[in-house]
Structure formats: C-alpha cells, structure tokens
C-alpha cells in the first residue's frame, strides 16, 4: 500500500481502471500477476492518494516489487517504509478519524470475542460513538456557562434582566448541570462495563477442598487445564485460563480449597488459601463450588474465611456477585442420611445466613471419574 498527499496525478491509467495486458519487454522481467487498486483522497483510509498492490506474498515477489518501486519514482517522492501506526496517524491528521475512533480501531485489531468486536465497531461509527455524547455535553456546558455569565455581567441592569428572570436563569442552569452530571455518572458506569468487555471478566472458582472446582474449570475450558484427583488439596496455586464464554472474554481462576486454618498445618496449603482469598477479592464474579454431601459446612467455611479478609466489601460482593454451585449430587447414595430434601434445606439455610435473601441453588450433576455431561 502506498499513500501520499499528491500521488500519481499525471498517470491517468489509475484514474480510469481497466485490465492491462502484460507487456513483454526483453529488458524487463514480469514480477507477478497482481491487482492494482487506486483510491482518490476522498475515498482512502488516510485521506491521501492511495494505491494498493494485491500480489502474492512470497519474498521474491515482494522484494522485486519494492525494488522496482524504489527506482520508478523521482527522488523527491522519498518512497520509504511506513512507521508503525503511520497510516492511522495520517488518517487522524486528515480528519478521517478522531482519537476515540483510533482507540476503537486498536481494540478492534486485538479483539478476541464477539462482544469486544461489537463494542469496537460501535465506537468506530461516528453516529454511535462516545464522540457524539461528548460533543453534546460540550454544547450543554457552553449553553449553561453563557446563561450564567449573562446574569453575572448584566444582573445589575434591571432594565434588561429583572430579579425574577435572574432566578429563572439560575434555576435553569442548575437543572441543566444536574441533568448533565447524572448523564456523566451513567456514562461512567457504562464505561466500566466497556472496560470489563475489553480487559475481560475476572471469574474466581472457590470452595472447600475436593468439591470439584478443577473439574468445573476443565469443563469450561474443554481441555485439561488443572490436575484432577480424588485426593483433597491437589490444587495449591492459582490456575488461570482465558476463555470465550458466550462471546464474553473471561479470565477464570481455579483456586486452592478453603477450610479452617486450624485443620491444616501445611504451610504451602495455607499460602494457597491466602492466594485464593486474594483472587476472590479481585474477581468481578465468584463461583462457589460445594460438595452436595455437606453443603452447609462448605458454604459456611468459604463465607467465614472471605469475611475475615475484608468484612464490609467482601460481604457485599458475596451478596451481589456470587453463584453457589452444588456439585456431586449424583454421588449421594439413596441410603445416605442426607436426602435430597435435606441438602437442599442445608444449602438454602447457608445462603440465607450469608446474604439475608432468598437464593436459588444451581445443581450440577457430575459423574465420578468421567467428564461432565454436554448438557451442562
């Protein structure tokens, strides 16, 4: 791709595109059979005269074309390789893109999920981008400032602005600024959601040892990310994987099992629990996996340990952004003293104690020593 403020204005072959027959000359070898596209400055990305050469990508073809171009133009053209981002910079200087659109273009280039792609394309559109919103804010502030300055400058002249009119003006300015402030606050909340879409939703999988946390992570990732074993305490450190779940980028973390520190003297296990609590605090969303054979104890242990770390903030996060998953329901024997009704009562009671609100338990059926069913 070649771009310049004034480019090939004297070559009418590019002004009227047509199929060109390959000229065979003894002193010139054919480089390739390629498509040449000419873009006038009004229709190009950079806002400058642009020519694109669509050829085969081998080194021999590319080096031959570049060598030919280097000798084809006069020295004052100073044909050179573009710097990183220079085409976008020229588009900005020509008024083809604003700063918000450039940021959106960068997001689009590195987008990994459909949600990231839709967000970036929305910002690239001038009609739907934040640029329109900011421009409306600017006009509202300018209008309010003009009215305020008019009252300040001419308020003493009662022939032009009476006392009642001044009150009305100040009331209007106050109402406009209040409305604008609310709009900005709402936009900031939306921007936080956009940041999560770009950077990824942080999800922490927590729970007591051997509850099935690593199995759940492996199922979501559709591959063996974490080690799974019947032995409790297999996961000691945080295992993190980036996934595309429903078009949303999610950074899912499997953590060490949480239990009372008095129940273990293992220094490594205690460090793993400390890291698990830290991951849960930073997460946007938490999945608490508990064993169906003893859900009450599992929930209470997790809630107690997380509250010890940061009582006020963590308690609010537990109420708003936590899903409790009751795992291994199928492993409960019909002869077991813990019936289906009993464990359902236990899990509801534990969540009521935690959140003071009615919650719904998600039952995930798993099969011993096998993968989770596709229906999950």
DSSP secondary structure letters along 231-290: STT---S-EEEEEEETTEEEEEEE-PPP--GGG---HHHHHHHHHHHHHHHH-SEEEEEE
From the list 221, 253, 245, 285, the residue with the least C-alpha distance to 114 is: 245
pLDDT of residue 199: 84
pLDDT of residue 89: 93
Residues 69 and 115 in one domain: no
Per-residue model confidence as pLDDT tens digits over 263-300: 677 788 778 888 888 888 888 888 888 887 777 777 77
Residues 123 and 181 in one domain: yes
Per-residue model confidence as pLDDT tens digits over 51-84: 899 999 899 998 888 888 877 776 666 778 889 9
Distance CA 133, CA 127 (A): 10
Q: Per-residue pLDDT averaged across 197-221, rounded?
A: 86
Average pLDDT over the chain reads 75
Expressed in angstroms, the distance from the first to the final Cα of the chain is: 49
Residues 104 and 82 in one domain: no
Give the lowest-confidence range in 94-108, 119-133, 177-191, 344-358: 344-358
**Residue 373 pLDDT greater than 50, yes or no:** no
Q: Under DSSP, is residue 322 helix (H, G, I), strand (E, B) or coil?
A: strand
Give the lowest-confidence range in 13-27, 113-127, 196-210: 13-27
Counting residues of the chain whose pLDDT is more than 90, the rounded percentage is 9
Residues 176 and 127 in one domain: yes
Q: Per-residue pLDDT averaged across 188-208, rounded?
A: 81
Residues 189 and 140 in one domain: yes
Annotate 82-113 with DSSP letters as a single string. PPTTHHHHHHHHTTS--HHHHHHHHHHHT--S
**Integer-rounded Cα radius of gyration of the chain:** 32
Per-residue model confidence as pLDDT tens digits over 78-128: 778 889 999 999 999 998 888 888 988 998 998 888 888 888 888 888 666
**Residue 185 pLDDT greater than 70, yes or no:** yes
In-domain check, residue 49: yes
pTM beyond 0.85: no
Cα separations in angstroms, 242 against 145, 201, 213, 221: 48, 9, 16, 8
pLDDT of residue 286: 86
- Of the CA atoms within 13 Å of residue 137, those in its CB half-sphere come to 13
Q: Supply φ then ψ for residue 95, to 5 degrees.
A: 80, 15
Range of the domain at 176: 98-194
More confident of the two residues 274 and 316: 274
SS3 content of the chain, % helix, strand, coil (to 5): 50, 15, 35
In-domain check, residue 371: no
Q: How many structural domains compose the chain?
A: 3
In-domain check, residue 370: no
**Which range is most confident: 7-16, 192-201, 342-351?**
192-201
More confident of the two residues 7 and 103: 103
Per-residue model confidence as pLDDT tens digits over 234-257: 667 788 888 888 888 889 998 888
Residues 170 and 110 in one domain: yes
Residues 161 and 217 in one domain: no
- Going by the DSSP 8-state scheme, the letter that residue 329 receives in this structure is G
pLDDT of residue 352: 57
Residues 216 and 360 in one domain: yes
CATH value at residue 334: 3.40.50.300
Residues 218 and 161 in one domain: no
Q: Per-residue pLDDT averaged across 298-312, rounded?
A: 65
Distance between alpha carbon 16 and the CA centroid of its chain, in Å?
44
Residues 173 and 278 in one domain: no
Distance CA 279, CA 202 (A): 9
Give the strand order in the sheet containing 322-327.
239-245, 248-254, 201-206, 285-291, 322-327, 362-364
On whether the CB atoms of residues 251 and 201 are closer than 8 A, the answer is: yes
On whether the CB atoms of residues 273 and 207 are closer than 8 A, the answer is: no
Q: Per-residue pLDDT averaged across 302-326, rounded?
A: 65
Listed residues 194, 211, 243: the one ending a domain: 194
Per-residue model confidence as pLDDT tens digits over 147-177: 888 888 876 666 666 677 778 888 889 999 9
Listed residues 163, 194, 225: the one ending a domain: 194
**Residue 217 pLDDT greater than 70, yes or no:** yes
In-domain check, residue 369: no
Residues 211 and 350 in one domain: yes
pLDDT of residue 141: 92
Distance between alpha carbon 167 and the CA centroid of its chain, in Å?
46
Counting residues of the chain whose pLDDT is more than 70, the rounded percentage is 68
Distance CA 127, CA 108 (A): 17
On whether the CB atoms of residues 310 and 304 are closer than 8 A, the answer is: no
Q: Supply φ then ψ for residue 78, to 5 degrees.
A: 50, 55
Residues 219 and 351 in one domain: yes
Distance CA 288, CA 274 (A): 16
Distance CA 341, CA 212 (A): 22
């Amino acid at each position: 791709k070649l771009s310049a403020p004034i480019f090939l204005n004297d070559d009418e072959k590019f002004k009227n595109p047509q199929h060109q027959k390959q000229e065979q000359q003894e002193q010139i070898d054919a480089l390739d059979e390629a498509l040449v596209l000419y873009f006038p400055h009004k229709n190009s990305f950079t806002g400058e005269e642009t020519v694109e050469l669509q050829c085969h990508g081998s080194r021999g073809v590319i080096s031959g074309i570049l060598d030919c171009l280097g000798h084809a133009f006069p020295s004052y053209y100073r044909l050179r390789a573009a710097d990183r981002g220079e085409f976008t910079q020229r588009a900005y200087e020509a008024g083809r893109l604003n700063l918000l659109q450039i940021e959106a273009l960068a997001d689009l280039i590195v987008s990994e999920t459909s949600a990231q792609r839709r967000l970036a394309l929305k910002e690239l559109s001038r009609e739907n981008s934040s640029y329109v919103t900011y421009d409306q804010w600017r006009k509202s502030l300018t209008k309010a400032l003009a009215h305020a300055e008019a009252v300040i400058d001419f308020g003493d002249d009662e022939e032009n602005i009476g006392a009642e009119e001044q009150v009305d003006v100040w009331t209007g300015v106050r109402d406009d600024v209040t409305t604008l402030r609310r709009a900005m606050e709402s936009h900031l909340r939306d921007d936080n959601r956009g940041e999560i879409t770009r950077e990824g939703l942080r999800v922490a999988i927590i729970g007591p040892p051997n509850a099935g946390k690593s199995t759940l992570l492996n199922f979501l990732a559709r591959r063996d990310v974490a080690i799974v074993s019947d032995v409790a305490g297999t996961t000691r450190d945080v295992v993190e994987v980036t996934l595309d779940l429903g078009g949303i980028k999610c950074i899912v973390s499997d953590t060490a099992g949480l239990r009372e520190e008095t129940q273990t003297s293992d220094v490594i296990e205690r460090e793993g629990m400390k890291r698990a609590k830290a991951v849960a605090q930073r997460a946007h969303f938490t999945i608490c996996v508990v064993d169906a054979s003893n859900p009450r104890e599992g929930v209470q242990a997790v809630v107690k340990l997380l509250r010890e770390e940061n009582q006020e903030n963590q308690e609010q996060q537990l109420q708003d952004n936590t899903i409790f998953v009751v795992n291994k329901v199928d492993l409960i024997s019909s002869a077991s003293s813990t019936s289906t009704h009993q464990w359902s009562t236990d899990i509801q009671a534990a969540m009521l104690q935690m959140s003071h609100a009615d919650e719904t338990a998600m039952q995930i059926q798993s099969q011993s020593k096998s993968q989770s069913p596709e229906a999950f």
